[in-house]
Amino acid sequence: MNKQDVIFVAGHQGLVGSAILRCLQRHGFANLLTKTRAELDLTNQAAVQAFFARERPTHVFMAAAKVGGIHANSTYPADFIYSNLQVQTNCIHAAWQSGVQKLLFLGSSCIYPRLAPQPMKEEYLLTGSLEPTNEWYAIAKIAGIKLCQAYRRQYGFNAICAMPTNLYGPGDNFHPENAHVLPALLRRLHEAKERRAPTVVVWGTGSPRREWLHVDDLAEACLFLMAHYEQEEIINVGSGQDLTIAELAVLLKRVVGYAGEVVFDPSKPDGMLKKLLDVSRMTALGWQPKIDLETGVREVYTWFVGQSGQVRR
């Protein structure tokens, strides 16, 4: 990727896309192409084809996706599978058709089987059944990977696929029900602190383990992969370290400065018991994240408080 290349960041208003945009700007890329949802509906095949034919991007970061936490995934299965299939199919096909030089597709760690050995290696893809709480999203993401691989095999299209672990960062969705655990709990703890509420509810048993990566680290990894990775095989991007939801709640409590108690609600689903990526391929390429969890969470909390009610809810 050269500084004068025309780079399209699909989904530049989301958590991942906005981080990639900031990262490209930091690295001196100036020819950046973005479209809001109102300007370009990525589920509209004709509009997407016309956009690519007209603008002729040379590089594409595919960060546009419908995402959500464990509750949103199981409540809106049709929205998750339809939007993601549609958006990625339209973009990947139009990118190939219009002569894009390289495309990076972002998947998710939930593409791996529910009972995959941990940490999860890239080769475990499609070796077992998926976690039912997010299988709709996972199936769409697996189809996106297969699209990239098929277009590479048949047409020599340079599409690569990165599988990020659970992400967090500024610009996240803080919706109480539909968000992922980290922003949802951060908000709940903050509001409990303000109200002086004695307890805060954490869904599930608190025992599932999750790995976290700051979205600015992911963005750096995406630029690194654009520059250094050319293979058909998917590649994991994570921190290689996990902690339980109970431990995460303690960390968030400390950051927020909430003095009350955390209580667990086991009637809510736990989802996968452990979800940790094997990041040895990324490490062997020479890439590592820089932001440790507590530093990153402190920064996000400062950002959240600074938004004073303007965050996505």
Distance separating alpha carbons of residues 26 and 312, to the nearest angstrom = 25
Q: Check binding of 110 to ligand GDP (CB under 6 A).
A: yes
Q: How far is the CB of 74 from ligand GDP (least distance, A)?
A: 10
Q: Check binding of 204 to ligand GDP (CB under 6 A).
A: yes
SS3 breakdown of the chain: % helix, strand, coil, rounded to 5?
45, 15, 40
Nearer to ligand GDP, 8 or 301 (CB): 301
Catalytic residue among 112, 137, 168, 301: 137
Q: Check binding of 130 to ligand GDP (CB under 6 A).
A: no
Give me 249's structure tokens. 């709640």
Give me 34's structure tokens. 């973005």
CA 126-128-133 angle, 5° bins: 100
Alpha helices in 165-258 (DSSP H): 181-195, 215-228, 245-256
Among positions 245, 276, 277, 297, the unique one binding ligand GDP when judged by CB under 6 A: 245
Q: How far is the CB of 58 from ligand GDP (least distance, A)?
A: 34
Nearer to ligand GDP, 162 or 249 (CB): 249
Residue count, binding to ligand GDP (CB under 6 A)? 22
Among positions 185, 192, 276, 277, the unique one binding ligand GDP when judged by CB under 6 A: 185
Question: Are residues 61 and 227 in contact, defined by beta-carbon separation less than 8 angstroms?
Answer: no
Distance separating alpha carbons of residues 260 and 117, to the nearest angstrom = 37
Amino acid sitting at position 200: V
Q: How far is the CB of 164 from ligand GDP (least distance, A)?
A: 12
Question: What angle do helix axes 181-195 and 245-256 make, rounded to 10 degrees?
Answer: 40
Q: Check binding of 203 to ligand GDP (CB under 6 A).
A: yes
Residue 137 a catalytic site member: yes
Q: Check binding of 268 to ligand GDP (CB under 6 A).
A: yes
User: Where on the phi/psi map is residue 38: left (φ > 0), alpha (ψ -120 to 50), or beta?
Assistant: alpha
Nearer to ligand GDP, 89 or 109 (CB): 109
Q: How far is the CB of 185 from ligand GDP (least distance, A)?
A: 5
Distance separating alpha carbons of residues 91 and 94, to the nearest angstrom = 5
Nearer to ligand GDP, 208 or 289 (CB): 208
Q: Which of 256, 233, 252 is nearest to 243 (CA)?
A: 252
- Binding footprint of ligand GDP on the chain (CB under 6 A): 69-71, 110, 134, 166, 179-181, 184-185, 202-204, 208, 210, 245, 268-272
Which residues are part of the catalytic machinery? 137
